[in-house]
Amino acid sequence: MNMRPLIRVSLFNADSENDFTLLEDNGEYFVSFGDRTGTYREFVRMLYDDEAPLPELLVGDVRANFLTLMKLVAERWNDRFAADFFRNAGE
C-alpha cells in the first residue's frame, strides 16, 4: 500500500487536539486518526454509531464529503476546526 495524504483536519479545544487525515490508495479512501487507519466508509459509520449516517457523505466527492463530515463533528464536539491540504506531486 502506498497511501497518499490528501487532507489533514485538526479538531481542537482548550484541552485537546485530534488529527484526522484523509488518505488515498489506488482510488480507495482511508482515514487515519490516533493509531488507527480504516476505510472512509468505516470511519463515517464509527462516528455515527447507532445513528444512520447522512447518505450524501458516502457518495460523490470524498474530499468534499470528508470536510463536511469533519465540520459536523467539530460542531457536535464544540471544537474548533483547521484543515491542511496536501498537493499532488507535479501540481
Q: CB 21: neighbour CB atoms within 10 A? A: 19
pLDDT at position 90:
44
Task: State if pTM tops 0.95.
Answer: no
Query: What is the DSSP track for 39-61?
Result: EHHHHHHHHHTTSPPPGGGSSS-
* b/e per residue 46-70 (b: at least 16 CB within 10 A): ebeeeeebeeebeeeebeebbbebb
Cα–Cα distance measured from residue 25 to residue 36, given in angstroms and rounded to the nearest whole number? 16
Position 55 scores a pLDDT of 80
* Structure confidence at residue 53 (pLDDT): 63
4-49 pLDDT per residue, tens = 999 999 999 988 899 999 999 999 999 999 899 999 999 998 888 7
By DSSP bridging, strand 36-39 and strand 17-25 are unpaired
Cell representation of residue 90: 507535479
Question: In this structure, what DSSP letter does residue 90 have?
Answer: T
Whether pLDDT at 91 is above 50 = no
